[in-house]
Structure 1
């Protein structure tokens, strides 16, 4: 029986796929744009449960088509057979709250929509644009066009945009752990979008596609300012690992720097990849500014250090991390002896922090003793984990600096 049932248990991460479609033919044959327009999810637990399994279908294929511009969606479900005698997963019901409102279930209706839908809609005011010389867009009949990328700041109170963003943000459930949809009726949200624009050769026509967005919330900070927090930062998988996220983050950061009512920029539970990108962008910025002003981070005491980073709207936690990265850059350039010295300093700091944490914990429980012991194995593991995060960023910065010389 177990063997029979196993045939009807499928991994949701393999069963679900996304396709960004430009023309009707891609709905019937999504493989024609596989590399550029197709991808699969990283997560499915919010939709299909912690085990991320779909029960009741043999070899299910759940195809989600999104129009490249309007982001209108088609849910297309296929499978070889359905098990009998058991209650099977109701796939449309499980997915309903995570898909764009009024999504399509008929291929023919969806293809008619594509034929008449817009291809060049873009929301917001362009604040930065650029081209990547190595980025090309392959069209029908073998035509090739270059891409222009545009970053916009959007009016979040535009009702048409609110409907549009509701469709785009349905992607994040599949890629950001514990993601939630935001309420754009709250005017404290700041939204930036990144678009890809392709001008068709020999035609007065453009194809514009959203490829990413970031949602930032402005929290009140006493007495009369705000703290900006990045709540969501998303680039479509088809456009990752191309340096676009780095440019997007740097552009957004530069906009936050221009806001007089914002004291600093923080990030809500950044994942490892985002933190690595943020560390690199922030550290390069600070390194450039230090060099320009003839300052040495190693000679700055904590008071001066935090004041300096505050000028760049970088909060204390990130400030300390960047200080470690930049000191590691110096250590890499100076040799093994200096690197060991930095590691020794980290050891002393982490040990001091651990002892303080234990002391505060005991005092909260009513203990009067101040003597604390630190588990050396745990301490070394924590330091090694931290170094494994910052060292690659420092190495990358050193390589960039050498290349620039």
Structure 2
């Protein structure tokens, strides 16, 4: 008989009876965005999605113990992000030895301040919702080519506006505290930021449309990006992108790419910013970043009639640094561009450059051995000490990890720039 434990650490036997009371938090939790009172029912048009992760809320196993037929629906008002939580269950385990998880206690610190579990109270908030609120100075707007999901077949197309918000605005601070509660479910290791620190910058994305029946403007926050400005002595700034979030309901519409471009273009325009980095980028974000940066570098080289292959790498890097790209990202972009270029020539050319990457990684590791150093950014911390003597194994491991990280970006270049010369 298999054994396990519930999220509170109590030892249980995973027999068929106990499994009935063990639920996946990712499966039973649903977010719904409320525009009008009808969205509180079972309307199919309501924007809804499930979380990507729940370990910070319900423990490493992302499970909830003690209930039958469990459903947790978390409603957010579309503009203000005021929140209502509805927990439904058909039965609860009765036991003198096993502890049932307290769902609301687990959720409490991860929900917007002032959330309610009372439907009537939330219905009143729905009635009082202001639909057209937006914060910040608009830096860019663009129209969605796809129809608005809320109004299929009615030829409603949303406009998206990206704004830079004033972190000193008390009303905005309260608003952001509510909206940022999404990120714990979608960004690994997410934490809330302190907007009393003026070194934060916040960029928001709003969806805007004219309601076809009510004839009112509706604006909804559907994502944001936070940036922290570190001091670079004596009077410069190193900008680090910290959080980058787009609602799952709005993925695959090019919104993330637009937001990234607006953020980095704004940062590059600030004379005090010397470079731009990213804090623990996800694979999806890194692909967006790579493709955007590669496009800018390719255009820069084209405008200056510079041959990527024939030109010394230091000169290529000097052009990259015009875009305030950090050294590590410069090398990464160079490898992606060279791999992309070689793949368009022949398999032999591609293989040849990939071997050059391996040689460089090997040389870097050899240099560290000679200097008796251990470099954390080569991911040595994941390799047992006894294997450090096996240089070939180390080189192969680092080479594979690096190629696995850049190949999706090379493929993205191939797919998005197919046919261009």
- Using the size of structure 2 for normalisation, the TM-score is 0.88
In 2, distance between residues paired with 1:232 and 1:61? 29
Aligned-residue Cα RMSD (Å) equals: 2.1
1:43 aligns with 2:35: no
Paired residues for 1:385-404 under 5 Å: 385-404=401-420
Greater shift after overlay, 328-337 or 63-72?
Answer: 328-337
Between the aligned partners of 2:403 and 2:343, the Cα distance in structure 1 is 13
Deviation, structure 1 residue 61: 0.7
Give unpaired runs (5+ residues) of structure 1. 365-371
Query: Are 1:109 and 2:121 counterparts?
Result: yes
Is the contact made by 1:76 and 1:105 (CA closer than 8 Å) also made in structure 2?
Answer: yes
- Verify the 8 A CA contact 2:45 2:151 in the aligned structure 1: no
Larger % of helix: which? 1
Rate the CA distance shift 1:356–1:197 in 2: closer, same or farther, 3 A.
same
Contact 1:355 1:373 in 2 (8 A): no
Q: For 2:148, which of 119, 122, 136 is the aligned residue?
A: 136
* Pick aligned residue for 2:243 from 232, 242, 264: 232
The separation in 2 between residues aligned to 1:344 and 1:247, in whole angstroms, is 34
- Please give the secondary structure, in 2, of the residue aligned with 1:77: strand
Q: In structure 2, how many angstroms separate the alpha carbons of the residues matched to 1:180 and 1:60?
A: 27
The answer to whether the Cα contact below 8 Å between 2:308 and 2:338 also exists between their aligned partners in 1 is yes
| Aligned counterparts, 1:345-384, within 5 A | 345-361=356-372, 374-384=390-400
Other structure's SS at 2:237 match: strand
How does the TM-score come out when normalised to structure 1? 0.92
The reply to whether residue 58 of structure 1 matches residue 57 of structure 2 is no
* Aligned mate of 1:221, from 227, 232, 252: 232
Give the aligned length: 394
Residue of structure 2 in register with 1:190 after alignment: 201
> In the superposition, relative to structure 1, how do residues 251 and 7 fare at CA in structure 2: closer, same or farther (>3 Å)?
same
Structure 2: how far apart are the matches of 1:180 and 1:312? 29
1:195 alignment partner, SS class: strand
Tell me the equivalent position of 1:286. 297
1:277 paired residue among 276, 281, 288: 288
- Any conservation in 2 of the 1:8–1:55 contact (CA below 8 Å)? yes
Q: Which residue of 1 aligns with 2:320?
A: 309
2:106 aligned to which of 91, 94, 98: 94
Given that 1:231 and 1:268 are in contact with CA atoms closer than 8 Å, whether structure 2 keeps it comes out as yes
CA contact (8 A) 2:143 2:160 kept: yes
For residue 357 of structure 1, report the CA deviation from its aligned partner.
3.1
Q: Structure 1 120/342 Cα, relative in aligned 2: closer, same or farther at 3 Å? A: same
